Structure 1
């Protein structure tokens, strides 16, 4: 009866011993030789390391060149916001000038312009094509000077009175278009009086002049017809 128990105890001790040895083998680090042998057994060998791909080319400079100067138009430049320059006040500039007269010598016409609003009065005698401060004379007319600036045309009218504003305000003579006066209706004329019809006055009969009586013309004589007897 003791033999089976002893056999079972011996088998249990053997199993514990084998398990302990297996655990020690698994816990121990494998050597380099073992690794090479293991890799050789599996048949896989690591290849040569591939070189890293080259970095992509830098296109920032090319893109900037195309943006700043497009290929289709070499004269174009990159867009830049223009500085907000204040708009010119042409009325205020023209208000500092006054056309005091137009001088004509033969076919040559000149306009006499003086400055206003400053202690030193300047005077110009200009003709067509001459320059005034900020303007260019385009034509000399009877009502004033036609001047241009920045593609726009203005009229500097002939001076017609003292300034009406202080501090260099707009004192130009405004030329207004004269509208034709409405035609006055003609007064109705009374119809001419119709002359009264006058009754004709009978004129007295005038007797013919008397003279010797004229003989009456004789009646023509015809032969008398006499029938013949048979």
Structure 2
């Protein structure tokens, strides 16, 4: 894995949040880790879209879930489709796991609580850049990978991918079925293999069948 500074050197990051204090703080955290990173800031969702469409494809979109009291949850599906090769990370004060998992099921790469200590937020962002799907809810460090049942750690989207790869479908076929890019499918496959503690698609399928997930 490349050092953080080298990885971010080639990345364009767009940070969208209507809370200037949090936005400025997160920007400073990233800049301290990677002073050469290109970081653009947006105050609302429309500005995020304008920035993302006006330059090189962003590597990461970091976006608040609520702008001016309104949720952008419904818009995340379109954002995922338009920027299929970008990692999307939602940051929020919401601590409800059911809501977080529902957001993850829309195809985003991460859901990170704003209440986390700064070093944990950066660690979570690093994991997303490494291709993981990340859910971090609170300062206790709770996350999807810490659940007892490995299969229950998977998001809805990962379960869809697992079901299709268990049926022998290729990444391209899965991408067409789900309306996402093969690149995004690879991210989901990598994440679910890690969550299940296996190293191959065949082993993941076998574990799913053994766990009674699929016939």
TM-score w.r.t. length of structure 1: 0.19
TM-score w.r.t. length of structure 2: 0.19
Structure with more contact order per residue of length (Cα contacts < 8 Å, sep ≥ 6): 2
Q: Which has more radius of gyration?
A: 1
